[in-house]
Structures are given as structure tokens and as C-alpha cells.
Amino acid sequence: MLTLDGTQLNLADVADGARRRLDPVHWDFFAGGAGDERTLRANEDAFTRRWILPRILRGTRDRDLRISLLGRRVSMPVLIAPTAFHRLAHPEGEVATARAAADADTIMVVSMAATRPVEEIAAVGGPLWFQLYPQSDLAFTAALVRRAEAAGCRALVVTVDSPVFGRRERDLRHRFVDLPPGLVCENMRDPSGRIRDIEMDAGLDWGRIGRLRELTTLPILLKGILHPADARLAVAHGIDGVLVSNHGGRQLDAAVPTLDALPGIVAAVEGRLPVLLDGGIRRGTDILVALALGATAVLIGRPVLWGLAVGGTDGVRHVLDLLYADLDRAMALAGAAVPGDLTGDLVTTAAPG
């Protein structure tokens, strides 16, 4: 396995190490997107169209990156997004990821498609949320919610942008349709021990979200909000938070980049619930821009998998440390001591000169 050797100075370096480490089929599974991968590329490109207008002489010596989110204080406005199949990247899989998140004192969102059971992931002791695709079998969905609660997960992140699977042509070319022997989606194991397939349900609607609300007292966040009208509906239905996401470009190709969708979602919710964002975060300046445009926090997906492939827990922690240090430096240079100092006037789309 590759190790952290001091040359991995940014996330691009970590990605390069992961590419050399991973089976090409698995690299493409993690790296790829739907269709022509327009949205995949656009998520990162959207940040290149924003420029920072720094403030000066604002006394930013004592910076504090901590935020409070749904009653939990975390070390920085960076969470770990739900991603599938971590054991493709490292034998310890999601347990190694959870250990890094706990060390960094931030939240990991456990994927329903994890290759380690939520109970083992929770045993690490860090703060967890649980990502859920509601299944048409309501009894199984209810059992899964109870299982996440019992493991200590503190919120449900319901993915709502996947009525069907996106067409991921890299996977089709590789004929990657099944996990290697010995790997399964452990959270889909029913009481009989059988592993169920994860069902994408095109019948999912607001009524089903309401019935999910009746199953649990946990906060519910909706992941996959891009249209302001849906953000307003989320508020009306008592949702506790929204995640501006296009599934990392893996579902609807040509969907709007998340950073471009963010201001409309922030305006729509009018401060009544937290707005999170994922997609394309690669630098501390990306985080700064997202927060300045109204995000409460961001989530990272692929960079976590890169770190996991390169160095297990140490690799994921290195990714988180890189982003923490990069954001801390960017805030100091932009004239912000705390995330709340990051306001929209610090960002422009007009290139200097």
C-alpha cells in the first residue's frame, strides 16, 4: 500500500496516489459520473468562476473553525459525505473512515451501501448520521431506521435524487455490476441474514417522506435538492436540513452544478434550516466560497475515498487535515476569524482586471 510520504501536499496529489493504488475498475467506479460526465466536471469548474474579495485589517489572529449543526459542535464546517463500498479502497473500509472522522471531531454520514455494518462503524465512537434510500418495503425501511437509531446515529440523510439509477458508462464498459466475493452491503442484511438489493424507488414522494417522519424523532435532512421550489417544500414539510447535491454527477447528467444552485436554495429557505452542499470541494478556498454563499457546511466524498486508498485511517485524516489547514489559511487571508464572518460580499464572479 502507498503511504503518506510528505509529497501529498493537496487533494490532487492524494487522488494521484489513489489512482495508482486502486484497481482501475474500482478507480473508475469511484471517479466516474453519469452520461458524458458534464455535471461531474462542472461541479469543480463552478468554483473556478468565483473570486474572493478579501477584507483587510480585521484582526483574524484567533481563528475558530468550529460550527454547531443540529445540536452538535464539530471542529470545522466539513463533513464526510455518504459514499458506497469503502472496502474497495481499504480492507477496513468504513471503520477506517469513521476513525479518521472521530479523530478530526467531525460528522461521518454512513452510507446505506456501506461494506461494514453500521454497528461496527458506530463502535469507533465518532458522531454519525445515516444515509437512507427509502425502500418500497416499508417494514424493512422502518427496521433499518431503528437499527441506525440503536447504533447511535443522530440524523437521517434521505437521498431523494435517485428515482432510478444514473447511467454510468465507465461501469458499463468494465461490466462492473457486482462487488467482489466477500463484500456486501452490510446494512441491507435482513433478519434472516439475506442481503437485499438496494431499490431505487420512482414512487417516492412527499407522502412517503411524511411517513418516514412518523417512524423517528431523529432530524431528517433531504439530500439532492437543487430547485428552490423543492427547498420551500422541504421547509413546509418540516424537514430539518437540506443538502444541495447532484449526487456527485452520478445521476442526472447536465444537472446544475451544486455551487450554482446554492444561492437559490439559501434564498428559498430564508434561514429556517441549515443548507449543506457537496460536489467539487477540493480546496479550502472552495469551502470558503460555499460558506460565503450561504452554506452552513460542506461534505466531501471522493477525496475521502482517495485518502482511504492511499493510507487507510491516516490517509482520510490527512485529507481532513489538508482541508482544515487550507480553510484556516484562506479565512485569515480573506479577513474572517470564524465561519460566520464569511458573507456574500466576499465572493464575486467578475475576474480581477
The length of the chain is 353
Q: How far apart are CA 292 and CA 287, in angstroms?
A: 8
Distances in Å between the alpha carbon of 253 and those of 114, 166, 218? 24, 8, 32
Phi, psi of 253 (to 5 degrees): -70, 145
Joined grid coordinates for residue 89: 479502497
Question: Is there a catalytic annotation at residue 174?
Answer: no
Give the active site residue among 26, 86, 90, 247: 247
Q: How far apart are CA 306 and CA 309, in angstroms?
A: 5
Q: State the CB neighbour count (10 A cutoff) for residue 349.
A: 7
Q: What are the helix (H) ranges across 160-205?
A: 169-174
CB 246 within 8 A of CB 224: yes
Pairing, β 241-244 against β 220-225: parallel
Q: Which residues are catalytic?
A: 247
